[in-house]
A and B are shown apart, each in its own frame.
Chain A
């Protein structure tokens, strides 16, 4: 560690200045979702010399979405590692480095490719603490989600492939503020965390916000009431928080919708779901992920176990259809859950 700390100090001391694109918050400028994540990464690497990033094209090129733009010059090639195209290889290697006390942050160029690392993640990494091989503090992060005409292999929401594996935490933020605070919490967490970033939120102007100019974290495992309401609870996350907000706006004066942004899928904030259901007595789950085996099933089960007698209507879900993500706009729009689907479901529940 001594060696590493020295290198960092020297490098910064040598005057590699913090580039403008990671100074937005400290200079009072609002940031996008992507910039918030970049600031979190940068600040954690500055704060803790054991944090390092690895992934495909993240060094010289700065990442497919430019998330780590400028990092190589500031932190050096031992902490900003361009890997061979080998998701299993570098995810497994991150585990090895974590075993030795480092805190790797792995970038999946697109989260669709995390399936290549399913083996080390589910078998090795998720079980390590439990089987006595030691904690693995590491983050696997990357862009997810559709609506960007990315086709079947650059649009997936693979969270449920990992939701079923004990030992993995899954974080899926929907705002710039949460993204920054949750990524910092994930990097500081002593368990492996999968961190999902909806790529359609990366540069969305509506998500630009002024963040607190302080070192803050958002706790993993806690949902957030995005919008308070009395009539129907929508439990959702990621991009669908914003689609649900649009539906709530459309229903204003007719159905008073409460939106619960789950923020963390594993561990799931069951208490927050139950509390909201006890308040509204109606539950709609909205996710961009496909329908069968989506998190709606688990949430409905929890509501049934813990809040059955408070429910006044069946639990419904609005989701993508059970198919791969199509490429052509008319096909993808049909595939993805739409605002009018959410509106219709809320109306049905309110009038049940």
Chain B
């Protein structure tokens, strides 16, 4: 169990308990259906042909032999998808360019990474489809490639796009480069700030690209009927977004595409965008048959958006009394084949935990010959936090201050400005650091070759659009339908909030994830937004149902609705009618719905604001084998402000999962390319995620400083936990060996090398 620290007790019956999730039995019995588990009569198998080259021009594609193979029903290329306009649309932080997107789904003029989709076939069996791929002839003109972000920024680097002129520089450069964009955020006077510092600490750090590592490869079943109506069953983090993007990529109207949410086997941001859906749908359109595509693990590593590698420099100026007076960070991020790394997030979050009067963040979004990056759990923030928290650690050591005390002294509070403009409005950072300071682990003694590291981290979290429908069944049980994909137990939390609001038992509320034709719009299950924003929609819908129930009771009692309250799951007479009638349960009112106005339902859509950010502070103890550089993680404690834990087990689970991913990111995970730009570790053997014997128990401290903008005080919990974890591990290793580690992953050869260098 975790430690839970909450400032005030509120009398709740369901929220805060640990009931079983309603989708649990199907998942432990193998009945639950994920994307690859769907089939349809007459189904064809789709397979995608992928580029063997890291960078090449496509001179021609000859699909005739593949078409002629018996059992092959269709072959497609980019010619089967409409061209898209070159335009960045949407808010800057998450802008989309369909010209890029369609080319990532299927290459046009060039291939930009090994694994880039070039063509696809649909055939009567997997083996026929495989054979057909071998018969497609692609004439490539191989080009020089570039992968490392610093190398890609050089003026003589091979160019991915010959017309790419860096945005965000004024005047614009007169030569193209691989730098898609430069960003800068600044407050105060940097020079004056550093001039006032007693100590200036600086480091340059690098991280390698990593993959989200979800265990379920992308998969979908698609059916495009001759009358233009289509259905897709897919695992994704947002079937509405999949619908919108897939419809655009196919040039069809959204109303003709119904997307069903399959259960999803992990996403972490990597399944926010389509990969196989547009291809399967285009093949189905061509063949008149349903088409199923399931990616292999190798394809997932070679073609699905990972998190960017980086090269960063951070400089911090600090006074002897512990006040940080200036901070400057430069963050260069690999975007992969197309622009859009999360470097803007990185710039914004990097110094966000702290109250620093003079701050600058500069970011570069750089294209290179690897798959286009996708979101990965607080995208951008763990990477910039690794750099900032390493230098913060160095600064604390330089002035001889306890690292948590140092952070506490500089922590942001409501009213502290952020580097991108708005002021912080929420509490919780201070409480989280204090919680860790009080944890017995912080004072536990360390042995030989052991080191302790701490770090803090910030994530915006998200609100946005969610819809929820609440239906009262004729027997008084309730259905709660939303459009939020359930990656890890949010269905249970939503049902708990509904049960609490309605005042009925949790078991009387059954939550479902409805498809795009059955519920109003819901944005991605990402950004730690579901329990927050969809929770608000659910509660609002329940409140509407309650108003309706009160009106029904008023009708039954023949009193004014103002004289009816809803309490503990019943309508009760109040005001002038107090005591005149026995309470009416939801079940009793439901039984009478036919004579009181018909079905009792409510659907609410929200565009939730009032988001509270996520904040976590973490501690890691390691032991380093000085003869081999192997690292053993001895202890990991994560304190996170969760607002209110609706279902504490799932909140703990999020924190433990994020910490585990961070440990893997820090120690052993990376993409390894050969000289031809091909991925040499496209599998779980050599892409080394932590296994059960690699990790200790991960202790969680749930700090609850409620968010006043949510009916139950919820703050998003899914992401903030990973943000400090990279630095916590790196700081621990650095202390264990007495040398500052500045490159991730800290694989044993790197540690051994550091050990043999000067302190």
Task: Decide if A and B are genuine partners.
Answer: no
Q: Which residues of B contact A (CB under 8 A)?
A: none
